Amino acid sequence: MSLRLPEPGTFEQLLRPVRIEVASLVRLSRYPATEPYWSAGVYRFDDPDPGRIGEFGTCYTASSIEVAFAESVIHASGRFVDGAYEVPSAELIERPVVRFACDRRKTLVLADLTGAALKALGLNNDISASADYAVSQAWAQAIHDADPRWHGIRYVSRQMNKGFAYAIFERSGLRKLHAEKLTSSQVDALCDRFNVTAV
């Protein structure tokens, strides 16, 4: 059974907020100078119709370096071969950890698409795990357009299902605070934890 679409009038009052500290957001980026990167029409909770009036960009962040590593480095560059993930060495050392700030606020109000809040909407975790982004993008647009108080969406990481990922809307005012390279001990610990071999 496919996920329901967000019909106007059927979901707005069911959305549950969760407050997230801006300082807790992390992203592993190939291009830290251009962060935050605002995507549209490509990824899970992007605006499905970029170019329309009221369009929005989405920046994907995570609740921890581990989630960011699983979501970006392993997912984008890893391949599982002979019992381990092989990841190019450059991907392990050339993605700095980006931290963020907002000039107008210290916390963001996100629509919670996890746990009981997700089920109360008549949805399940396919919203975070399906390879077809049509429904999740429709929900992102509907949530964005429903109320300007929503700064984004919290969802379960598909690549590390004990962690959260965040789709932050451009109107949040998110900006890069700083970027720093992972230390060699951090890289080694991440590789050990996720069964990654540098190639």
Q: What is the pLDDT of residue 46?
A: 98
173 pLDDT above the threshold of 60: yes
Is residue 98 included in any domain, yes or no? yes
Is residue 19 included in any domain, yes or no? no
Give percent above pLDDT 70 in the chain.
Answer: 99
Is residue 16 included in any domain, yes or no? no
Structural domain tally of the chain? 1
pLDDT tens digits, one per residue of 53-75? 889 999 999 999 999 999 999 99
Contacts made by residues 74-81, CB under 8 angstroms, sequence distance 24+: 74/159, 74/194, 74/196, 75/159, 78/196
Of residues 157 and 77, the one with the higher pLDDT is 157
Is residue 14 included in any domain, yes or no? no
Range of the domain at 151: 29-198
pLDDT tens digits, one per residue of 93-133? 889 999 999 998 999 999 999 999 999 999 999 999 999 99
Half-sphere exposure of 86 (CA within 13 A, CB side): 6
Is residue 2 included in any domain, yes or no? no
Is residue 193 included in any domain, yes or no? yes
Single pTM value for the model: 0.95
- Which of 106, 118, 105, 107 lies closest to 16, judged by CA? 118
Is residue 6 included in any domain, yes or no? no
1 pLDDT above the threshold of 80: no
Is residue 77 included in any domain, yes or no? yes
